[in-house]
């Protein structure tokens, strides 16, 4: 904990003064272009991986980068997504899964989660992903972690489309959806290519025009 506290002191003494103009500009409002939904895993730093700064990403995190499908129940994800899309007017939503995801390991073996009843219930939102992979490969094991992680990203994009604020703006082209996968060991970011249905390296999908060539927004 000590390094966290000394980090705040360092930020205030060294980093903040150098970037004062940015923070002054941000002090009275935010205008992020991107809603970034990723796992709560401590190894993921969305701003570091995307080389963005304060004010650029509206970030929602939870175990498994899950978006519960829309319902009349108000949850934290539902409210945050509605706020990002309807109030802040983000034009892109990225769902970013990652390698070695503990939540996905849990989804692969829910019978081991009896001591974590809330985790077990939360990962019920991934069941479509595990069932889809199971239908392709038969019995699931840890070997299928990568497949389930990818399928989960696609599943959560589907869930996003059930949120009214998102659905309306996707149909009108005001919001684009993106499925990403971050590899902790290599630093690679794979992106779902809706044409081929595969996850490819980010440069192959977007080329030199980020966001311009890719849109997961229209359900097939
Ligand atoms: Zn994770």
Q: Please check whether residues 183 and 114 belong to one and the same domain.
A: yes
Cα 13 to ligand 1 centre (Å):
33
The per-residue pLDDT for 208 is 67
The Å distance, Cα 28 to ligand 1 centre, comes to 33
The mean pLDDT value for 1-22 works out to 95
Gap between the Cα atoms of 30 and 8, Å rounded = 22
Residue 136: pLDDT above 50?
yes
Burial pattern 106-133, b for ≥16 Cβ within 10 A else e, equals: bbbebeebeeeeebbebbebbebbbebb
Res. 218: pLDDT tops 90: no
Same domain, 65 and 124: yes
Pick the more confident residue, 185 or 206: 185
- Interval between CA 185 and ligand 1 midpoint (Å): 14
Mean pLDDT of the chain, nearest integer? 93
Q: Determine the structural domain holding residue 14 and report its residue range.
A: 1-30
Residues 13 and 36 in one domain: no
Same domain assignment for residues 20 and 51: no
pLDDT at 207: 81
Please spell the DSSP secondary structure of 194-213, one letter per residue.
TTTTEEEEHHHHHTTSTTTS
Cα-to-centroid distance, 6 and ligand 1 (Å): 27
Question: What's the 212 CA to ligand 1 centre distance in angstroms?
Answer: 28
151 and 111, same structural domain? yes
Whether residue 210 has pLDDT greater than 90: no
Sign of the CA dihedral running 162, 164, 168, 170: negative
Q: Which two structure tokens, joined as six digits, stand for 132?
A: 């889809």
The answer to whether position 192 is within a domain reads yes
Per-residue model confidence as pLDDT tens digits over 51-110: 999 999 999 999 999 999 999 889 999 999 999 999 999 999 999 999 999 999 999 999
Cα 59 to ligand 1 centroid, rounded to whole Å:
15
This prediction's pTM: 0.92
65 and 6, same structural domain?
no
CA of 25 to the centre of ligand 1 (A): 33
Asked if residue 81 belongs to a domain, the reply is yes
Asked if 26 and 37 sit in the same domain, the reply is: no
202 and 168, same structural domain? yes
219 located within any domain: no
**Residue 191 forms part of a structural domain:** yes
* Res. 49 pLDDT band, cuts 50 70 90: very high
- Verify that 168 and 94 share a domain, yes or no: yes
């Amino acid at each position: 904990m000590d390094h966290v506290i000394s980090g705040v002191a360092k930020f205030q003494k060294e980093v903040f003064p150098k970037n004062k103009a940015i923070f002054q500009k941000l002090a009275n409002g935010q205008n992020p272009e991107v809603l970034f939904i990723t796992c709560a895993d401590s190894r993921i730093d969305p701003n570091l991986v995307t080389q963005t700064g304060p004010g650029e990403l509206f970030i929602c995190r939870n175990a498994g980068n899950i978006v519960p499908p829309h319902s009349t129940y108000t949850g934290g994800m539902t409210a945050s997504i509605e706020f990002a899309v309807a109030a802040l007017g983000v034009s892109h939503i990225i769902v970013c899964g990652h390698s070695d995801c503990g939540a996905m390991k849990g989804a692969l073996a829910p019978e081991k989660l009896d001591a974590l009843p809330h985790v077990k219930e939360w990962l019920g939102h991934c069941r479509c992903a595990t069932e889809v992979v199971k239908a392709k490969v038969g019995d699931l094991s840890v070997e299928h972690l990568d497949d389930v992680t990818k399928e989960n990203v696609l599943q959560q994009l589907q869930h996003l489309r059930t949120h009214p604020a998102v659905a309306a703006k996707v149909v009108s082209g005001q919001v684009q959806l993106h499925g990403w996968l971050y590899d902790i060991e290599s630093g690679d970011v794979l992106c779902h290519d809706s044409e081929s249905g595969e996850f490819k390296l980010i440069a192959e999908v977007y080329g030199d025009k980020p966001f311009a060539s890719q849109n997961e927004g229209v359900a097939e």
